[in-house]
Amino acid sequence: MASQILQHGAQATLTESNDSPTWTFGDKVCLCTRTFTATYAVCLAAALARGSRPVSGTLATYYGSAYLFVEQSTVQRSPAGLAKLTVQYSLYLDANGNTQDEPADSIFIETQKIEIPLERHERYRDQFTEAKLDAVHNLLATTDDTIRTTYSWVYDSGKPEYTPLLAEFYLKLKRGLTHYPLYVPVVKRRRYFLSLPSGLTIGGFRETPVIPGLELPTADWMREGDSVEWDGRHWVVTSSWLGGDDLDADIYP
């Protein structure tokens, strides 16, 4: 039978094979493969690029062109100047098996390694006065014996100002342990759009993600900037939230 499903090319001269179409039903995606024969030139002209949508024909009329995407087209040359055109379409299905114009949002949690200054570790945080921290950093920054003698109470247990915790902190910094690793959760949500999305954010502010049915760990959550990419059929927006601790209340109110 003559086909009018394609968007361009000499449609009337395409003939669909008797065993076409073939349907493959998956969990969330339904694939339809249609096969046509025509001259080699006609098949090349009628082949559709990935992400195209047919605007007419049986599939487009039944499902609506907004739901239908071309996964791939292949053209195979045959003898006598003929060729076979195979076009594979995809339809996204919702939980009830109905077509939908885009995949459902996907939500996942990753971990990200960040380096935190050692003095912010809960063992040392708020344990030292500014004067004691200055003494530690002065010791680390100098080779002058006079200055080192002035602040020797930091590491010399015989001095009255000596405290074991400050000495421990100093020795760790002296060994090069200036930061400690923390593996924080990152919540990500991917949304799919048929047209260019709007309302994106550059992030950099406090915001707790709300994921129905999922109890997130207690943390100071910060919204990160949205990212956008084109997957060949949709604009994909990825929103993410970084979970940490001790966000500065002045910088992140």
In 3D, which of 252, 178, 188, 170 has the Cα closest to residue 226? 188
Q: How far apart are the first and last CA of the chain?
A: 67
Q: Distance (Å, rounded) from C-alpha 35 to C-alpha 54?
A: 15
Residue 123 DSSP code? T
pLDDT at 54: 60
In 3D, which of 224, 218, 212 has the Cα closest to residue 244? 218
- For 49, the 3-state DSSP assignment is coil
Q: Which residues pair with 181 in a beta bridge?
A: 115
pLDDT, one tens digit per residue, over 95-116 is 554 545 566 788 888 999 989 9
The residues spanned by each domain of the chain are: 11-100, 106-114+180-244, 122-178
pLDDT, one tens digit per residue, over 7-57 is 444 455 888 888 888 888 776 667 888 888 999 989 888 888 876 766 545
Please state the pTM of the whole predicted model: 0.57
Q: Distance (Å, rounded) from C-alpha 43 to C-alpha 134?
A: 77
Q: What's the mean pLDDT in 177-181?
A: 94
Q: What's the mean pLDDT in 54-62?
A: 50
pLDDT at 83: 92
Task: State the pLDDT confidence band at 244, using cuts at 50, 70 and 90.
Answer: confident
* Residues 87 and 73 sit within 8 Å (Cβ to Cβ): yes
Q: Distance (Å, rounded) from C-alpha 127 to C-alpha 157?
A: 18
**In the predicted structure, residue 249 carries a pLDDT above the cut 90:** no
Of the listed ranges 1-5, 143-147, 169-173, the one predicted with least confidence:
1-5
Write b or e for each residue in 75-113: b if 16 or more Cβ atoms lie within 10 A of its Cβ, otherwise e. Answer: beeeeeeebbbbbbbbbbbeeeeeebbbbeeebeeeeee
Q: Which residues pair with 112 in a beta bridge?
A: 184
Q: Distance (Å, rounded) from C-alpha 32 to C-alpha 59?
A: 9
Q: What's the mean pLDDT in 187-196?
A: 86
Residue 178 DSSP code? -
237: left (phi over 0), alpha (psi -120 to 50) or beta: beta
Type of residue found at 68: L
pLDDT at 169: 95
Q: What's the mean pLDDT in 134-139?
A: 93
Task: State the pLDDT confidence band at 65, using cuts at 50, 70 and 90.
Answer: very low
